[in-house]
Amino acid sequence: MVFNNQYSLSINGKMISAGKTFGVVNPATEEVFAEAPDASRTHLDEAVAAAKAAFPAWSGRPIVERKELVAAIGKCLEDNREEFSRLITLEQGKSRAGSDFEIDLSASWCRGVAEYDLPATIIEDSSERTVEVRHTPIGVVGAITPWNVPILIAIWKLAPALLAGNTVVLKPSPFTPLATLKLGELLQDVLPAGVLNVISGGNELGQWMTDHPDIGKVSFTGSTATGKKVMESASKTLKRVTLELGGNDAAIVLPDVDPKAIAPALFWGAFFNSAQVCVAAKRVYIHEDIYDAVAHELVEFAKTVTVGDGAQQGVDLGPVQNRMQFEKVKSLLADSKAQGHRFLMGGEPSGGKGYFIPISIVDNPPENSRVVVEEAFGPVLPLLKFSDIDDVVQRANNTLTGLAGSVWSSDPKKAREIAERLETGTVWINEILFFSPDAPFSGHKQSGLGAEHGMEGLLEFTNTQTITSKKLEAAS
């Protein structure tokens, strides 16, 4: 199906025009290319009421049927891969290969989640009593997503929430609402009315969701600053929250690696999606014995990578997604320049239209410089020297966040010892950005609360219910 350029809210199985709209900008051209509906508080109330009304029937359906419908969401993405991919590139900026990857992973994710069951556990079955632990759905889930990977992150919330028997109100970022709105539109033919409602609007719409008395849980992915506001607001009604927030992930490269062999994976681990990835390597610590060789190979590899409009063939990395982020990254570059840091490549924002920043690699800036301490969320990467393992572990952990990290070594035992010392929810050894529907993903410290994926992630969309039953013969 070829998508038209019209976007509506999906509420209770119907496509609704919000009346008001806001413009969506293509970050490669800075031009508004579509209008998205700007939902009011009344639209939110309608969406939540629809989700609440749909909940009894949806949660009462056998899980095997919900599993089939979660798999069908993946099929819908697959059947419309070309159009979703085109639209993600237009609104988000990433290359077509990056958008294809996002849709493919989202589709296979749905199939992976659809494998899960939520069996009750009998923890006692004695002559006295049975004790059974069940996992019941919460009710209406509010899902709030960021602009870097809009469809995949939406699927990370939708698929387990629906499988567990919840109904959903999904709100994409105002910077990238379109693919999510189209997904909502197409899924109205797949799911019963009210089970999935998709609404777009400004940031205040997210805040109204976290305030709403009939939303039982908020699953939020975004910045640490907003995550704190979500938790504060959700506390008023004691909503359950899962928060996946920012990070300043360290990669640690030991002296026993082959620099040329690791350079491509390390490069993509830092720069995939123009480094707008929560778990991108944002600080690369390289042992001093091998620093020059690794830096050289990273730069040589980077020279083979093309930055440009993601819609054009042959482009590997697109622009930064929005002006606010563009200005933030430019300010980090300017600060590095002002501090006299040396750039191994890049360093100057590209002129002309579009939020383009060239691949920028900073040569061993001081540990306390802004480019090291702040989450750039853009293509600026500091390389840092170390000589001592205790020192590098301390430096890697010396941050308020703890999302992920990676260790690179030809000695698995040594790498594993370092991995265990990192205060992060995920540690990759000799790889990076590996995700699976079965592997829990969570942030330590201020990178989040709770987990997504795997059984841990699925259980976050449930309440625990324990039923004890005294045996009649024991009771008499």
Binding piece for ligand NAD, criterion CB under 6 A, among 184-192, 243-251, 356-364, 429-437:
243-251
- Residue 100 or 249: the one with the smaller Cβ distance to ligand NAD is 249
Residue 238, phi then psi, degrees to nearest 5: 50, 45
Q: Check if the beta carbon of residue 191 is closer than 8 Å to that of residue 161.
A: no
Question: x/- binding map, residues 7-46, to ligand NAD, per CB under 6 A?
Answer: ----------------------------------------
244 among known catalytic residues: yes
Q: Which of 102, 244, 297, 375 is catalytic?
A: 244
278 among known catalytic residues: yes
Q: Check if the beta carbon of residue 474 is closer than 8 Å to that of residue 124.
A: no
Residues linked to residue 241 through DSSP beta bridges, in sequence order: 218
How far apart are the C-alpha atoms of 321 and 425, rounded to whole Å? 26
Q: Check if the beta carbon of residue 27 is closer than 8 Å to that of residue 273.
A: no
Q: Does 364 bind ligand NAD (CB under 6 A)?
A: no
Q: Does 248 bind ligand NAD (CB under 6 A)?
A: no
Tokens 């899960």 label which residue? 116
Among 139, 184, 194, 206, interactor with ligand NAD by CB under 6 A? 206
Q: Does 147 bind ligand NAD (CB under 6 A)?
A: yes
Q: Check if the beta carbon of residue 137 is closer than 8 Å to that of residue 160.
A: no
Q: Does 244 bind ligand NAD (CB under 6 A)?
A: yes
CA 460 to chain centroid, in Å, comes to 16
Q: Does 203 bind ligand NAD (CB under 6 A)?
A: yes
How far apart are the C-alpha atoms of 184 and 199, rounded to whole Å? 9
Helix axes 178-187, 150-163, angle to 10 degrees: 30
| Radius of gyration (C-alpha) of the chain in whole angstroms | 23
Among 207, 350, 397, 410, interactor with ligand NAD by CB under 6 A? 207
Least distance (Å) from ligand NAD to the CB of residue 226? 3
Least distance (Å) from ligand NAD to the CB of residue 391? 26
Q: Residue 248 corresponds to which amino acid?
A: N
- Residue 91 or 297: the one with the smaller Cβ distance to ligand NAD is 91
Least distance (Å) from ligand NAD to the CB of residue 201? 8
Please give the sequence-ordered ranges of beta strands (E in DSSP) within 183-314, or none if there are none. Answer: 196-198, 217-221, 240-244, 250-253, 283-287
Tokens of 92: 């988000």
Q: Does 148 bind ligand NAD (CB under 6 A)?
A: yes
Tokens of 457: 């992630």
Binding piece for ligand NAD, criterion CB under 6 A, among 86-94, 161-169, 221-229, 388-396:
221-229
Q: Which of 46, 102, 110, 278 is catalytic?
A: 278
Least distance (Å) from ligand NAD to the CB of residue 423? 15
Q: Does 99 bind ligand NAD (CB under 6 A)?
A: no
Question: x/- binding map, residues 107-146, to ligand NAD, per CB under 6 A?
Answer: -------------------------------------xxx
Q: Check if the beta carbon of residue 282 is closer than 8 Å to that of residue 381.
A: yes
Three-state DSSP at 453 gives coil
- Residue 38 or 297: the one with the smaller Cβ distance to ligand NAD is 38
Closest CA to 397 of 249, 246, 224, 227: 249
DSSP assigned state of 21: E
Q: Which of residues 370-409 bind ligand NAD (CB under 6 A)?
A: 375, 377, 403
> Which helix H or strand E contains 391, and what residues bound it?
helix 389-397
Using CB under 6 A, count the residues that bind ligand NAD: 28
- Which residues make up the interface to ligand NAD (CB under 6 A)? 144-148, 171, 173-174, 203, 206-207, 210, 221-223, 226, 229-230, 244-247, 278, 375, 377, 403, 443, 448
> Which residues are the active-site residues?
244, 278
